Amino acid sequence: GWFLLWLLPSILRARASPETRPSSPLCQQSPTKVSCKGVGLQKFPKELGQGIKYLELSNNFIQNLSGSNMPGFGQLEYLDVCSNQLESVSATALAELPRLRSLLLGSNHLDRNYLANGEAFHLLRNIEVLDLSVNNLESHMASWYISNLTSLRVLDLSGNTMTKLLAGTFRNSPRLRQLDLSNNYIMEIQEGAFEPLEELEVLNLALNSLHCISGFSLMQLQVLNLSHNALELFSEEEGAEPYLLRVLDLSHNRLLYFPELPRAHDLTHLNLSNNLIASLLPGSLHPREFVLPYKEMQRFNRTMRPVAALTHVADLDLSNNRLELFPFSFFHSLGSLHSLSLARNCLQDVARESVTNGTELSVRSLDLHSNALRVLPRWFFDSLPHLESMDLGSNSLQPCESQGSDQGRDLGGDSHTSAPGDTCTPFYNVPRLKHLSLSKNNISRLQPRAFNRTPLLSLDLSGNRHLSMPTGALAGLELSLQELSLRDNRMDEAALPCLGTLRVLDLSGNHLSLLPTGLSCSPLESLDLRNNNLQALGTVRSWSHSLRAVSVAGNPWSCCSLGWLD
């Protein structure tokens, strides 16, 4: 009883309502920085003291900022009042903050009293960073809030209800460098809306309802995100001055063609995934079901090389489109291309068109998973001499057998597409390939020495139901392979060579009653044996010093043969 009486004051304090709870003792405070995040404040904590420069008040219940609550904060430079219930900001309050540089007011109710609030904002002459995201602001409200903020460098208006960008919105914010307008309902950008922003470097217009970007004129912009719109057209403004654009995201739109960017010489990252691009070849016809609604499309010359200027692009994502052909000539001019994704298209073949046999691409990482590829000819690999990583999962490729170091190098070498008689793909003699995925390719039998003289570090053969792996199938990988996945293959048995560098092995989802022979050679660190028919493990002694993780669930272990657990 005395113990409960001793605890009672603490219990009562813990259950006190936000109104009766003292605010400042719950805050974390240093001489110049105070954090009162999520402590239940309903008013500005005026008792915090002098000299504070950094104040966090997010995730509370503050409804207004008034001058009477804010004496002694003249040194404040950073104020975060995000995720409160703020709807009123008085001029007297902001007048108390002459040194304020960063003001974060996201996730509040600043659509209420916006006229008076915006008038008060005129006092924020020195503000450089402003967050007004998720405040239910309409276009005219947002324009009013920033109408006199001449020092703004970073502005966040994301998550509001803006439907258009008015021509004069940024007239008095010429120093703006980062602008976030994502997740609104913007359908229209009035002419000249961005014209004052000559220093703008980063612009986010993702998750809006834009249908057309015509005459794009932000020369100095370096990062542009237009993903998740309804764009059918993206064209640059006519002229000779080059763009400084480095990153362009046009994913999740309705583009039918690769965008024409003749002056984007500095572009390094281009994302065109999740569009309707059906061909990359010059002169392609428009799909029958699409009627061009834009006059701008009439001046497009489809015989142009749309990538001729993109000599610095290192990362190109074309996944989730409608491509049926892999055209080497299109990518040939992308001399700096290192990462290329054509995953989840309709690729059935690869073609070099009129490119000479010596054509080489600089690609190091190639993602072709989830297509309809049945064969890749030898010239395909010869044209990718720098290839290090390749994802070919969810296709229908069958690896060829390697019978010598150089045999088969001319397989289909003179044809522009795969020869009709070719039924397998040569994965041997690919000198720089280190990571390969052939999961879910319906491979029924792995041929001997299928990866000979290809120094793979990781190999994924999972999801090939009833895969047969005869002795010697992985011969040639003894001194390189570190990770191997044979998951969900329903194999009754598997033969592995002495893989002296293998660290990670996944054998889950098979019908194995015995571990593959040769495993004792491998310095395994991770072994997944779930969902097999194993009753005992007999070769674990050789892994006693290397094994760190082992998964054994879903096996009919024999209770009389558990010595391996020791």
The Cα 244–Cα 260 span in angstroms is: 15
The Cα 387–Cα 482 span in angstroms is: 18
Q: Please give the model's pTM, rounded to 2 decimal places.
A: 0.86
| CA of residue 45 relative to chain centroid, distance | 40
Q: Tokens 């749309």 map to which residue?
A: 306
Question: What amino acid is encoded at 39 in this protein?
Answer: V
Q: Which residues contact 208 (CB under 8 A, 6 or more apart)?
A: 181, 182, 183, 184, 185, 186, 187, 228, 229
Q: Which domains does the chain have, with CATH numbers?
A: 398-402+425-565 (3.80.10.10)
**Of 343, 349, 354, 404, nearest in space to 380 by CA:** 349
* Phi, psi (rounded to 5 degrees) for 379: -60, -25
- Three-state DSSP at 46 gives helix
| Number of neighbours of residue 155 by Cβ within 10 angstroms | 25
| CA of residue 431 relative to chain centroid, distance | 29
SS (H, E, C) 143-206: HHHCCCCCCCCEEECCCCCCCEECCCCCCCCCCCCEEECCCCCCCEECCCCCCCCCCCCEEECC
Q: Tokens 């920085």 map to which residue?
A: 33
The Cα 128–Cα 120 span in angstroms is: 16
Q: Write out the chain's pLDDT in tens, 566 residues.
A: 544 444 444 444 444 444 333 345 688 988 899 999 999 999 988 777 678 999 999 999 999 998 776 777 889 999 999 999 999 999 999 998 999 999 999 999 999 999 999 999 999 989 999 999 999 999 999 999 999 999 999 999 999 999 999 999 999 999 999 999 999 999 999 988 999 999 999 999 999 999 988 767 788 999 999 999 999 988 777 776 888 999 999 999 999 989 888 788 899 999 999 999 998 865 454 443 333 443 444 444 443 445 667 899 999 999 999 999 988 888 888 889 999 999 999 999 887 654 555 678 999 999 999 999 999 999 999 999 999 999 999 999 999 998 654 444 444 444 444 433 478 999 999 999 999 999 999 999 999 999 999 999 999 999 999 899 988 999 999 999 999 999 999 999 988 999 999 999 999 999 999 998 888 889 999 999 999 999 988 766 777 788 999 999 999 999 888 887 87
The Cα 526–Cα 520 span in angstroms is: 14
